Chain A
Amino acid sequence: AQSVTQLGSHVSVSEGALVLLRCNYSSSVPPYLFWYVQYPNQGLQLLLKYTSAATLVKGINGFEAEFKKSETSFHLTKPSAHMSDAAEYFCAVSEYGGSQGNLIFGKGTKLSVKP
Protein backbone atom coordinates (compact mmCIF):
# COMPACT_ATOMS: atom_id res chain seq x y z
CA ALA A 1 0.00 0.00 0.00
CA GLN A 2 1.16 3.48 -0.75
CA SER A 3 1.80 6.04 1.93
CA VAL A 4 3.45 9.39 2.47
CA THR A 5 5.18 10.65 5.59
CA GLN A 6 5.94 14.30 6.11
CA LEU A 7 8.52 14.90 8.80
CA GLY A 8 7.70 17.88 10.96
CA SER A 9 4.17 19.17 11.29
CA HIS A 10 5.48 22.69 11.75
CA VAL A 11 8.60 24.32 10.30
CA SER A 12 9.67 27.89 11.08
CA VAL A 13 12.29 29.80 9.08
CA SER A 14 13.46 33.39 8.86
CA GLU A 15 12.79 35.42 5.76
CA GLY A 16 15.62 34.82 3.28
CA ALA A 17 16.58 31.46 4.81
CA LEU A 18 16.49 28.09 3.10
CA VAL A 19 13.19 26.24 3.17
CA LEU A 20 13.37 22.44 3.45
CA LEU A 21 10.18 20.40 3.84
CA ARG A 22 10.66 16.66 4.06
CA CYS A 23 8.58 13.94 2.42
CA ASN A 24 9.19 10.21 2.33
CA TYR A 25 7.00 7.84 0.39
CA SER A 26 6.25 4.16 0.32
CA SER A 27 5.17 2.50 -2.90
CA SER A 28 5.54 -0.93 -4.44
CA VAL A 29 5.42 0.48 -7.96
CA PRO A 30 6.97 3.56 -9.56
CA PRO A 31 5.16 6.51 -8.01
CA TYR A 32 4.11 9.87 -9.21
CA LEU A 33 4.74 12.48 -6.53
CA PHE A 34 3.23 15.88 -5.97
CA TRP A 35 3.60 18.88 -3.71
CA TYR A 36 0.57 21.05 -3.07
CA VAL A 37 0.28 24.29 -1.06
CA GLN A 38 -2.77 25.40 0.88
CA TYR A 39 -3.19 28.98 2.02
CA PRO A 40 -5.60 29.69 4.89
CA ASN A 41 -9.24 29.08 3.98
CA GLN A 42 -8.37 28.05 0.45
CA GLY A 43 -8.12 24.88 -1.61
CA LEU A 44 -4.94 23.18 -2.75
CA GLN A 45 -2.63 24.58 -5.42
CA LEU A 46 -0.12 22.40 -7.26
CA LEU A 47 3.49 23.47 -6.71
CA LEU A 48 5.20 20.75 -8.71
CA LYS A 49 5.01 17.09 -9.71
CA TYR A 50 7.39 14.24 -10.47
CA THR A 51 6.33 11.90 -13.28
CA SER A 52 9.48 9.82 -13.89
CA ALA A 53 11.25 12.28 -16.15
CA ALA A 54 13.94 14.46 -14.57
CA THR A 55 14.59 13.69 -10.91
CA LEU A 56 14.98 17.38 -10.09
CA VAL A 57 11.65 19.07 -10.56
CA LYS A 58 11.17 22.82 -10.65
CA GLY A 59 7.85 24.28 -9.67
CA ILE A 60 6.17 27.59 -9.18
CA ASN A 61 7.21 30.36 -6.81
CA GLY A 62 10.87 29.25 -6.81
CA PHE A 63 10.25 25.83 -5.24
CA GLU A 64 11.92 22.64 -6.40
CA ALA A 65 12.05 19.02 -5.28
CA GLU A 66 14.39 16.12 -5.92
CA PHE A 67 13.22 12.53 -6.33
CA LYS A 68 15.65 10.12 -4.66
CA LYS A 69 14.61 6.53 -5.20
CA SER A 70 17.35 5.12 -2.94
CA GLU A 71 16.09 7.25 -0.06
CA THR A 72 12.38 7.06 -1.06
CA SER A 73 12.30 10.81 -0.59
CA PHE A 74 10.87 13.82 -2.38
CA HIS A 75 11.89 16.81 -0.26
CA LEU A 76 10.74 20.32 -1.18
CA THR A 77 13.22 23.20 -1.09
CA LYS A 78 13.39 26.91 -1.77
CA PRO A 79 16.68 28.83 -1.49
CA SER A 80 15.20 31.97 0.07
CA ALA A 81 11.94 32.14 2.00
CA HIS A 82 9.47 34.98 1.52
CA MET A 83 6.74 36.02 3.93
CA SER A 84 4.20 35.01 1.28
CA ASP A 85 5.41 31.38 1.50
CA ALA A 86 3.71 30.97 4.89
CA ALA A 87 1.13 28.25 4.29
CA GLU A 88 0.56 24.53 4.73
CA TYR A 89 2.33 22.17 2.35
CA PHE A 90 1.17 18.68 1.42
CA CYS A 91 3.12 15.91 -0.25
CA ALA A 92 1.06 13.35 -2.18
CA VAL A 93 1.63 10.13 -4.10
CA SER A 94 -0.31 8.61 -6.98
CA GLU A 95 0.19 5.10 -8.20
CA TYR A 96 1.39 4.73 -11.78
CA GLY A 97 -0.92 2.54 -13.76
CA GLY A 98 -3.43 2.38 -10.97
CA SER A 99 -7.09 2.18 -11.82
CA GLN A 100 -8.00 4.93 -9.45
CA GLY A 101 -6.92 8.50 -9.65
CA ASN A 102 -6.79 9.08 -5.97
CA LEU A 103 -3.97 11.01 -4.40
CA ILE A 104 -2.67 9.83 -1.04
CA PHE A 105 -1.65 12.83 1.02
CA GLY A 106 0.66 13.29 3.95
CA LYS A 107 -0.57 15.08 7.06
CA GLY A 108 0.96 18.36 5.96
CA THR A 109 3.69 20.69 7.17
CA LYS A 110 2.81 24.20 8.25
CA LEU A 111 5.50 26.68 7.23
CA SER A 112 5.93 29.88 9.22
CA VAL A 113 8.23 32.65 7.98
CA LYS A 114 9.63 35.12 10.51
CA PRO A 115 10.55 38.66 9.45
Chain B
Amino acid sequence: ETGVTQSPTHLIKTRGQQVTLRCSSQSGHNTVSWYQQALGQGPQFIFQYYREEENGRGNFPPRFSGLQFPNYSSELNVNALELDDSALYLCASSLGLAGVSGQETQYFGPGTRLLVL
Protein backbone atom coordinates (compact mmCIF):
# COMPACT_ATOMS: atom_id res chain seq x y z
CA GLU B 1 0.00 0.00 0.00
CA THR B 2 1.50 3.33 -1.09
CA GLY B 3 1.37 6.15 1.39
CA VAL B 4 0.78 9.84 0.74
CA THR B 5 3.43 11.36 -1.51
CA GLN B 6 4.13 15.01 -2.24
CA SER B 7 6.22 16.81 -4.82
CA PRO B 8 8.49 18.63 -4.95
CA THR B 9 10.20 18.18 -1.58
CA HIS B 10 11.72 21.66 -1.62
CA LEU B 11 11.03 24.77 -3.64
CA ILE B 12 12.42 28.29 -3.77
CA LYS B 13 10.38 31.09 -5.33
CA THR B 14 10.48 34.86 -5.34
CA ARG B 15 7.80 37.22 -4.14
CA GLY B 16 4.97 37.66 -6.63
CA GLN B 17 5.50 34.33 -8.37
CA GLN B 18 3.03 31.48 -8.53
CA VAL B 19 3.59 27.91 -7.27
CA THR B 20 1.88 24.53 -7.69
CA LEU B 21 2.34 21.75 -5.15
CA ARG B 22 1.23 18.20 -5.80
CA CYS B 23 -0.10 15.39 -3.63
CA SER B 24 -0.95 11.77 -4.32
CA SER B 25 -3.32 10.34 -1.78
CA GLN B 26 -3.00 6.95 -0.13
CA SER B 27 -4.50 4.14 -2.18
CA GLY B 28 -8.30 4.04 -1.78
CA HIS B 29 -8.58 7.46 -0.11
CA ASN B 30 -10.97 9.96 -1.66
CA THR B 31 -10.44 12.96 0.61
CA VAL B 32 -7.43 15.27 0.60
CA SER B 33 -6.72 18.08 3.06
CA TRP B 34 -3.97 20.67 2.83
CA TYR B 35 -2.23 22.32 5.77
CA GLN B 36 0.36 25.08 6.13
CA GLN B 37 2.96 24.69 8.87
CA ALA B 38 5.01 27.81 9.53
CA LEU B 39 8.30 27.43 11.36
CA GLY B 40 7.74 26.67 15.03
CA GLN B 41 3.97 26.39 14.66
CA GLY B 42 1.38 23.67 14.37
CA PRO B 43 -0.21 22.96 10.99
CA GLN B 44 -3.08 25.22 9.93
CA PHE B 45 -5.94 23.95 7.79
CA ILE B 46 -6.09 25.46 4.29
CA PHE B 47 -8.87 23.45 2.60
CA GLN B 48 -10.20 19.99 1.98
CA TYR B 49 -11.34 18.23 -1.20
CA TYR B 50 -13.78 15.34 -1.31
CA ARG B 51 -14.53 13.62 -4.61
CA GLU B 52 -13.19 16.61 -6.59
CA GLU B 53 -15.25 19.23 -4.71
CA GLU B 54 -13.97 21.69 -2.11
CA ASN B 55 -15.45 20.74 1.25
CA GLY B 56 -14.37 23.38 3.68
CA ARG B 57 -11.76 26.10 3.83
CA GLY B 58 -9.70 27.64 6.56
CA ASN B 59 -8.77 31.28 7.00
CA PHE B 60 -6.65 31.63 3.87
CA PRO B 61 -7.08 34.20 1.06
CA PRO B 62 -8.43 33.28 -2.39
CA ARG B 63 -4.93 33.28 -3.87
CA PHE B 64 -4.69 29.84 -2.25
CA SER B 65 -6.63 27.50 -4.51
CA GLY B 66 -6.77 23.81 -5.18
CA LEU B 67 -7.91 20.98 -7.37
CA GLN B 68 -8.67 17.33 -6.90
CA PHE B 69 -8.50 14.98 -9.87
CA PRO B 70 -10.58 11.86 -10.66
CA ASN B 71 -7.80 9.67 -9.29
CA TYR B 72 -8.07 11.73 -6.04
CA SER B 73 -4.63 13.27 -6.36
CA SER B 74 -4.59 16.97 -5.61
CA GLU B 75 -2.83 20.27 -6.32
CA LEU B 76 -2.39 23.34 -4.18
CA ASN B 77 -1.82 26.57 -6.11
CA VAL B 78 -0.63 29.78 -4.54
CA ASN B 79 -0.62 32.99 -6.59
CA ALA B 80 1.21 36.24 -5.89
CA LEU B 81 3.54 34.67 -3.36
CA GLU B 82 4.37 36.63 -0.24
CA LEU B 83 7.29 36.21 2.13
CA ASP B 84 4.92 34.89 4.82
CA ASP B 85 3.95 32.00 2.54
CA SER B 86 7.31 30.39 3.37
CA ALA B 87 6.33 27.21 5.22
CA LEU B 88 6.02 23.45 5.10
CA TYR B 89 2.91 22.48 3.14
CA LEU B 90 1.39 19.21 4.24
CA CYS B 91 -1.11 17.10 2.39
CA ALA B 92 -3.23 14.52 4.23
CA SER B 93 -5.57 11.91 2.82
CA SER B 94 -8.42 10.02 4.43
CA LEU B 95 -11.17 7.64 3.48
CA GLY B 96 -14.49 9.44 3.34
CA LEU B 97 -15.46 12.79 4.69
CA ALA B 98 -13.37 13.12 7.82
CA GLY B 99 -15.54 15.91 9.13
CA VAL B 100 -18.80 13.98 9.04
CA SER B 101 -17.70 11.66 11.78
CA GLY B 102 -14.63 13.56 12.86
CA GLN B 103 -12.83 10.36 13.58
CA GLU B 104 -11.40 9.39 10.24
CA THR B 105 -7.65 9.27 10.47
CA GLN B 106 -5.81 11.66 8.21
CA TYR B 107 -2.56 10.26 6.86
CA PHE B 108 0.07 12.89 6.17
CA GLY B 109 2.67 13.11 3.47
CA PRO B 110 6.25 14.30 4.10
CA GLY B 111 5.45 17.82 2.98
CA THR B 112 6.84 20.39 0.55
CA ARG B 113 9.06 23.04 2.05
CA LEU B 114 8.51 26.36 0.26
CA LEU B 115 10.86 29.30 0.65
CA VAL B 116 9.79 32.66 -0.74
CA LEU B 117 12.56 35.21 -1.21
Contact = CB atoms under 8 A, between A and B. Distances in A.
Classify the interface of chain B: helix, strand, loop or mixed.
Answer: mixed
Nearest to B47: A102
Interface stretch (A11-19, A43-51, A63-71, A79-87): A43-51
Nearest to A98: B99
A43 B107 CA distance: 9
Interface stretch (B12-20, B70-78, B108-116): B108-116
Nearest to B99: A101
Candidate in A41, A44, A46, A107 with the most chain B CB atoms within 10 angstroms = A44
B57 to A, nearest CB: 8
Contacts of B111: 42-43
A102 B58 contact: yes
A45 B108 contact: yes
B103 interface: yes
A41 B29 CA distance: 24
Contacts of B56: 99-102
B60 to A, nearest CB: 11
B65 interface: no
Contact of B99 (A36, A92, A95): A95
Interface of A: 4, 31-32, 36, 41-46, 49, 51, 90, 92, 94-108
Contacts of B109: 43
Contact of B102 (A32, A105, A108): A32
A107 B37 CA distance: 10
Contacts of A105: 35, 42-44
A104 B58 CA distance: 10
Candidate in B43, B94, B104, B107 with the most chain A CB atoms within 10 angstroms = B43
Nearest to B6: A43
B67 interface: no
A104 B106 CA distance: 12
B64 to A, nearest CB: 14
